[in-house]
Structure 1
C-alpha cells in the first residue's frame, strides 16, 4: 500500500475541504468585523438614498408651491374677469360684491369641511398612552 491512508483519497486531497487553522476567537473577530463593515455600508447606502429622495421631494414641493402660486394668480385674474363681465350688466360695485360673496361662501365651506376632518384625528399618542395605562394597571394587579 502506498503512503495514502483510508481517510485521504488518492492524490492527497482532503474530502472535507481545506482545514482552517484559525482559532475560534479569530473566526468570531473576523465575522464581527465583516458584520460591522456590512452595517456601515448599509447605513451609508440608506443615507445616500435618503439624500437623493429628499432632493427629489424638495424639487417636487417647490414645483407644487409654484403651481399653487400660479393657481392663486389664475383665480385672481378670473375673479377680475368676472367682475368686469358682470360690471357691464349690473354695475361694477355689485359685480365685485357678488364675486366676493361667492369666494367667501367657498372659503366657509372649505374651512368647515377641513375642521370636520381635523376633528376626526385622535389626540397624539392616544393608543400608546392607553396601552401604557393598561400595562401599569397590569403590573399593579400582578404585584398585589
Structure 2
C-alpha cells in the first residue's frame, strides 16, 4: 500500500489504485443509500404530520356539517309548521329524509355490486388461454 491510502488525496502524478477506487465507490454508495433513506424517512414523517392535521380538520368540518344539517332540518320542520301542524311537518320531513336515505343506500349497493363483481377481463383471459391450448393441440 502507499502512504496516501490513509484518506489523503493521492499526489497529482500518482493515480489511485483500482482497489482504492472500488473502496471509494462502495463507501460513497453506502453514504448515498443512507442519505436517501434518511430523506425518505423525513418526507414520510412530514407527510404523516400533514395528513394528521388534514384528517383532524376534516373531522371538525364533519361535526359542523352534521350540526348544520340538524339546523336545516329543524328550520324545514318549523317552516312547514306555519302551514301545517308541527307533528305533520315533522312527519313529512322525516319521511322525505327516509326516502332520500333509501335512494342513496340503493344506489350505493348497486355501485358496490358493480365494484365487487368478477371482472369481464378474467373471462376473456380464460377464453384466450382455452383458444391457445386448443390451437396447440392441433
Tell me the TM-score normalised to structure 1 length: 0.67
Shift of 1:18: 4.5
Matched with 2:91 is 97
Change (3 A) 1:120 1:18: farther
Residues 8-53 of structure 1: CA deviation (Å, up to 9, x unaligned): xxxxxxxxx754233x232212211111110111111111111111
- Structure 2: which 5+ runs fail to align? 1-11, 126-138
Residues 80-123 of structure 1: CA deviation (Å, up to 9, x unaligned): 11111212311111111111111111111221222222223247
Tell me the TM-score normalised to structure 2 length: 0.70
Matched with 1:40 is 34
- Of residues 15, 30, 52, the one that matches 1:20 is 15
Matched with 2:75 is 81
- Structure 1: which 5+ runs fail to align? 1-16, 132-144
**When the two structures are aligned, how many residues end up with a matched partner?**
117
How much is the aligned-residue C-alpha RMSD, in angstroms? 3.2
Matched with 1:66 is 60
Q: Give the Cα separation in 1 of the matches to 2:16 and 2:35.
A: 29
Matched with 2:129 is none
Q: Give the Cα separation in 2 of the matches to 1:50 and 1:100.
A: 46
1:55 maps onto 2:49 in alignment: yes
